[in-house]
Amino acid sequence: MGEQRTLSVKIPEGIYNELALRVPEGERSSFVRDAIMEKLQKTPKPNKILKLEERVSKMEKEFSEIKKYLADLELLTYERGKMNPHAFCMDETDHKIVDYLIHYKGATTPELAEYLKTNRWLVLNRLRRLQKNSRKQLGKSVIDYYPGEKSGKKKAWWINEEITETQ
């Protein structure tokens, strides 16, 4: 136990009388020492509390990241077999493309590029990636390219309404 130190403690008279009744005179010092040790065992060390708080905080942060990733990757089922086309979006640009396609039911690459104020090659690459990722995960793509004329548009991209739930 190491070197012993003297400690004087003031306690209420009622507690002292109870101690005098229950603990013989020669054993009181060891009784008080054991009581202090027992209480210290139950009381966590401040640095341990700090470490536990840091671990809990880190775990909460990691759980929130996991929830975010699951929300981004999750294929949300709305009706029988219908998927949310936003589930395949990687960033804000993809979300804007999908929003435009949902609103207008379809669009050409130059229309989307003008709407997004970017070049059409970026838009084309995003559309192809959305198509590829959805086809890989679902077996069908949520957006399709149709080179002919449809609804007054030629060579346009269309939301596949069979498998998507457009809100």
Query: Do 144 and 127 form a contact (C-beta atoms < 8 A)?
Result: no
User: Model pTM?
Assistant: 0.50
Q: What is the pLDDT of residues 62-103, one digit of tens each?
A: 887 776 666 556 544 334 456 777 777 888 898 899 889 888
Written in H, E and C, the secondary structure of the chain is CCCCCCCCCCCCHHHHHHHHHHCCHHHHHHHHHHHHHHHHHHCCCHHHHHHHHHHHHHHHHHHHHHHHHHHHHCCCECCCCCECHHHHCCCHHHHHHHHHHHHHCEEEHHHHHHHHCCCHHHHHHHHHHHHHHHHHHHCCCCEEEEEEEECCEEEEEEECCCCECCC
Distance from CA of residue 77 to its chain's centroid? 20
Does 104 or 32 have the greater pLDDT score? Answer: 32
User: Which tokens is 90 given?
Assistant: 């990687």
User: Which tokens is 31 given?
Assistant: 């009784």
Check pLDDT > 70 for residue 164.
Answer: no
Query: Do 116 and 96 form a contact (C-beta atoms < 8 A)?
Result: yes
